[in-house]
Structure 1
Amino acid sequence: MSEISVRPLGEEDWQQYRDTRLTALRESPEAFVATVEEEEAYDEAFWRTRMSRSARLIAERDGSPLGIVSVGRSSAHNPKTSELFGLWVTPEARGSGVATELVRAGATLARDQGQTQLAYWVGSDNGRAVAFASGFGFRPTGKRRPMRVQNGDDEDEVAMVLALGGDRGSVPTDF
Structure 2
Amino acid sequence: MSEISVRPLGEEDWQQYRDARLTALRESPEAFAATVEEEEAFDEDFWRLRMKRSARLLAERENGTLGIVSVGRSSDENPKTSELFGLWVRPEARGSGVASALVRAGARLARDQGQTQLAYWVGSDNGRAVAFASGFGFRPTAERRPMRVKSEDDEDEVAMVLALGGDRGAVPHDF
Q: Same fold (TM over 0.5)?
A: yes
In the alignment, what sits opposite 2:91? Answer: 91
Residue 23 of structure 2 aligns to a residue in which SS? Answer: helix
> Which residue in 1 is equivalent to 2:67?
67
Per-residue deviation, residues 81-119 of structure 1 (Å, max 9, x unmatched): 000000000000001100000000000000000000000
Cα distance change, pair 36–103 in 1 and its aligned pair in 2 (3 A): same
CA shift, 1:152, in A, is: 5.9
**What is the aligned-residue identity percentage?**
86
- TM-score of the two chains, using structure 1 as the length reference: 0.94
Helix, strand or coil: the match of 2:3? coil
Structure 2 unaligned runs (5+)? 171-175
* Aligned 1:120-131 pairs, distance under 5 A: 120-131=120-131
Which stretches of structure 1, 4 residues or longer, exceed 6 Å deviation after superposition? none
Distance in 1 (CA, whole Å) between partners of 2:26 and 2:151 is 14
Name the CA distance, whole Å, in 2 between partners of 1:98 and 1:29: 20
Q: Report the TM-score when normalising by structure 2.
A: 0.94
Aligned-partner residue type, residue 157 of structure 1: E
Quote the residue 2:117 is aligned against.
Answer: 117
Deviation at 1:151, TM superposition (A): 3.7
Letter in 1 for 2:131: A
Number of equivalent positions? 170
User: Tell me, which stretches of 5 or more residues in structure 1 are unaligned?
Assistant: 171-175
Compared with structure 1, are the counterparts of its residues 68 and 152 closer, same or farther at alpha carbon in structure 2 (3 Å cutoff)? farther
1:107 matched residue in structure 2: 107
Kindly state the Cα deviation for residue 165 of structure 1 after the two structures are TM-superposed. 1.5
Q: How big is the shift at 1:168?
A: 3.6
